[in-house]
Amino acid sequence: MGRMSVLLRRATGAIGRPSVWLGMVLVLDAAIAVAGISVAHGSGLLGLLAAGPLLACARCGGRATALVAVYAIALCAIAAALVGAEDSTLASYRFVMVIVAGVVAVFVSVIRSRREGALIRINDRVQRAILRPLPAEFGGVAFASHYQSATKQALIGGDLYDIAMTQNGPRFIIGDVKGKGLDAVGRCAAVLAAFRELAVAQPDLVKLAIEMDTRLSQDMEIEDFVTVILADFAPGEVRIVNCGHHPPVKVSADSAELQLMVPGQAAPPLGLQPRPARQDITLKPGDRLLFYTDGLVETRDRAGRFFDLDDRVAAALALPDLDAAVKRVVRLLLEHSGDGLTDDVLLVLGEPLPARDIAAV
C-alpha cells in the first residue's frame, strides 16, 4: 500500500505539470479531429475541439493556451475540409464556436496567471519573514543550508529552522511539524515564535524543550505534534536535545565515514509531553554535523527504496566548501527520487571555525 500511494502521488503530480497537461490536451484535440474525419456524419464532433483551449487555460499560461487555440482552429478547418460539411451554416457555427472558445481561454489564462503571480509574490514575502535565511557564519560556526518544499510555488512547508545567539553561544533549532505544504506554515510560525521568545531567556536546553512544549500544547489539536532538535554550539562540542526528530549525522575531519548521533534516551515530539535528556557531541574544527528532516531519508525511488546515508553522501559532505557539499547531497536526493519530491526537505550543515577564522570574522 505504501508503494502504491507513492506511485499514485507521482502519477497525480505528473498529470498536474503544465507540460504534461499541454500534451494531453493536444492529444485530446487530435483524437477528436480524427474521430470527426473517420466516423460517419462525424462533422458534428468538430465542435468538441473547443474543449482543448478551455482545458489548457486551467493549467497553462497565456502563450501555451494560445498555441492550443490556434491548433484547435487549424484542426477544425482541416477536418471540415476533409469531411465536407453537410450544412455550411452548421460548419460555420462550429468553426466560430472553436474560435470564441480559444479567445475566451486565452483571456482566462492570462488573468489567472497574473493573479497567481501576485499571490506567489505575497507568499514569497510572508514565508521569508517566517523562515529567515541562515547566516553563513554565526558565533564561530560556519553553516550551509538548503530548504525545498514539496509544494510547488511555496518556499517553505512543514519544516523549520532558526538560530539565536545566547550567553553561551549559538543556539539552533530544526524541526518538522505534522503536515506539509502551505497548511503547515502557520504551525511553523508558532514554533519559531516560541523558540525566539524563550531561547535567550532559558539557559537549559531540556527546560527550553519543556517550556516550548507547554507553550505550543495550548494551541495544538490532540493529534498535532512537532519533532525538533535543539542544539547549543559550544567550544569543542554540541549539546543536543532531541524530541522525536531524526538524529543528526557527524562527519569527522579525519574520517570520511558517517556517524549517526542516536540519542541514548528517546523522547516524543513537542505536543506529546517530552522529557528529553541532553546529548553531548564532540565537534572539533573540521568536523561537520548534518541536521535534516524526514524528507531526506524517507524519499523513495521508483522501486520504493528509501534514500540511504551511504558512502556517496559521506563523500559529498566531505567536500571542502559547505555550500557545495549541501548542494551535492540535494543532487543525489533528486537523482534518487527521479520524479521530484513528495515531502519537504531541509538540510543544515554546521562546522566549527578554526580560532584564526573566528578572530578574522
Strands 226-234 vs 258-260: parallel, antiparallel or unpaired: unpaired
Beta bridge partner(s), residue 240: 231, 279
- Residue by residue, DSSP assigns 309-339 as --HHHHHHHTSSSHHHHHHHHHHHHHHHHSS
Nearest to 37, CA basis, from 84, 72, 69: 84
pTM greater than 0.75: no
Ranges 8-12, 153-157, 333-337, 341-345, most confident: 333-337
Kindly state the average pLDDT of the residues 256-280.
Answer: 89
pLDDT at 326: 95
Structural class in CATH, domain 131-360: alpha beta
**Extended strands (E) in the chain:** 137-138, 141-148, 159-166, 169-177, 226-234, 237-243, 249-251, 258-260, 278-282, 288-292, 345-352
SS3 at position 231: strand
Q: Check residues 204 and 150 and name the one with the higher pLDDT.
A: 204
Q: Which amino acid is at 283?
A: L
Q: How far is CA 207 from the centre of its chain?
A: 32
CB atoms within 10 A of CB 37: 18
How many alpha carbons fall within 13 Å on the CB side of residue 26? 14
pLDDT at 45: 80
Quote the DSSP letter at residue 306: B
The pLDDT tens digits of the residues spanning 143-157 come to 999 988 766 555 566
Quote the DSSP letter at residue 151: S
Domain ranges in the chain are 2-127, 131-360
The pLDDT tens digits of the residues spanning 309-326 come to 999 999 999 999 999 999
Percent of the chain with pLDDT over 90: 46
The pLDDT tens digits of the residues spanning 35-87 come to 888 876 667 788 889 999 999 998 888 899 999 999 999 998 888 888 765 55
